[in-house]
Chains A and B, each alone.
Chain A
Amino acid sequence: MISRLWMFGDAGPVVHISPGGVFQFGGLTITNSILYGWLCSVILIVILVWVARKISIKPRRGLVQYIEAAAEFIINLVEGSFEDKKRARKYVAFFVTLFFFLLFNNWLGLIPGVGEALHVGSIPLVRPFTADLNGTLAAAIVTMAVVYTASIRESGGIIKYLSHFFIGSPLNPLYLILGLLEMMTDLTRVLSLSLRLFLNITIGEIIIAVFSYLGHVAAPITAAPFTIIEIFVGALQAYIFVILSVMYLAIAVNNASESEDQHLTEEDVADKISLRPKESLSG
């Protein structure tokens, strides 16, 4: 449909929504998003390991400072969602890495070489990994697998984890149906996480393609405001992905651990809030 912009009389902007195969390896086709994903992973590992070696007590200026600030932001987020800080330590590394992976994937798709500039045959050589539904579905499945495994382990078994969905006894038909509806909402999380990220990044690419097509020679000027918007949107969508996953995990973990306030008697409550009962009026 986009290729029918008749006003210029030529082919219209070239927009790809699905990835194209670049070369064959064994029996599998390696697509351009897979290539981009590998490239981003290598860059990510190199940069983060280099930054981790340079961390010291005294803060340093430069790239180290920014990455440290972003990592601390996510660490505060994760620790703030869990009530028990020691448990949060186990999951911090995964979420920080996930955030940086999605951030680099979204941002590196905006540099001018990625996309239509380099071609292999008729398909682009590299294409953002998150602008491909297969990519974001993979990221969402891996994240939800980690969240489910962690919640089952923290709840102490599958039966106890499933019993948090039912507010009463499951033999009551009303509670049974409500519990099953809650479980189905749980399963749609994978779809909503992956679709949100994929659609945001792909539609950003389409908008930039249309606007750089509309200004033939002045393409850098007409596409510049949208590239700046896409920088913001890329960072925001990576952050939303991570914050939603952390929330899903925190719900399951906080349900599992009972706080010590559940087993108090009346005297304990009075002691806790430092209120002594009135002495009886006997002599």
Chain B
Amino acid sequence: MILLADAINTAIIGKGLMIGGGFIGPGIGIGLIGGSYLQAVGRNPEASRFLGQALVFVGIVELIFLLAFASIFIVK
């Protein structure tokens, strides 16, 4: 098993898994925020003044996406 670990570059596989798994969550999260904002505006057009606050929540969710992106440079 030790020889196998030397032949396979496990760092690249680790990076691929982290990218693949880590980019799912924030995408769904931002899509949900956008969807509920649009639903609220559809029911009540006066709710479009909450656009600024919706973008603030998008910025908070994006932290998770950026942590997954940063792990590319951290794992060797």
Other than A1-B73, A195-B66, A236-B55, give 7 A-B pairs with Cβ distance below 8 A. A192-B63, A199-B63, A199-B66, A199-B69, A236-B59, A239-B56, A240-B56
Majority DSSP secondary structure for residues of B touching A:
helix
B60 / chain A contacts, CB cutoff of 8 Å: 196, 240
Interface residue count for B (Cβ, 8 Å)? Answer: 12
Tell me the B59-76 residues at the A interface (CB within 8 Å). 59-60, 62-63, 66-67, 69-70, 72-73
Tell me the A182-219 residues at the B interface (CB within 8 Å). 192, 195-196, 199-200, 202-203
The residue on B at minimum CB distance from A196 is B63
In the complex, A236→B52 CA distance in Å?
A: 9
B62 / chain A contacts, CB cutoff of 8 Å: 196, 200
The residue on B at minimum CB distance from A77 is B52
In the complex, A196→B55 CA distance in Å?
A: 15
Interface residue count for A (Cβ, 8 Å)? Answer: 14
Asked whether, in the complex, the Cβ of B66 is within 8 Å of the Cβ of A196, the reply is yes
B66 to chain A, nearest CB (A): 4
User: Which residues from chain B sit less than 8 Å from chain A, CB to CB?
Assistant: 55-56, 59-60, 62-63, 66-67, 69-70, 72-73
Give the number of A-B contacts (CB < 8 Å): 32
- Report A232-252 CB contacts with B as 1/0, cut-off 8 Å: 000011011001000000000
Tell me the A156-196 residues at the B interface (CB within 8 Å). 192, 195-196
A40 to chain B, nearest CB (A): 22
A236 / chain B contacts, CB cutoff of 8 Å: 55-56, 59
Indicate whether A269 reaches chain B with its CB closer than 8 angstroms. no
In the complex, A240→B73 CA distance in Å?
A: 25
A-B contact pairs, 21 of them (CB 8 A): A1-B72, A1-B73, A17-B73, A195-B63, A195-B67, A196-B60, A196-B63, A199-B63, A199-B67, A199-B70, A200-B62, A200-B66, A202-B70, A236-B55, A236-B56, A236-B59, A237-B59, A240-B56, A240-B59, A240-B60, A243-B56
A195 / chain B contacts, CB cutoff of 8 Å: 63, 66-67
In the complex, A199→B63 CA distance in Å?
A: 8
In the complex, A243→B60 CA distance in Å?
A: 11
Give 6 closest A-B pairs by Cβ, nearest first: A199-B66, A240-B59, A196-B63, A236-B59, A199-B70, A240-B56
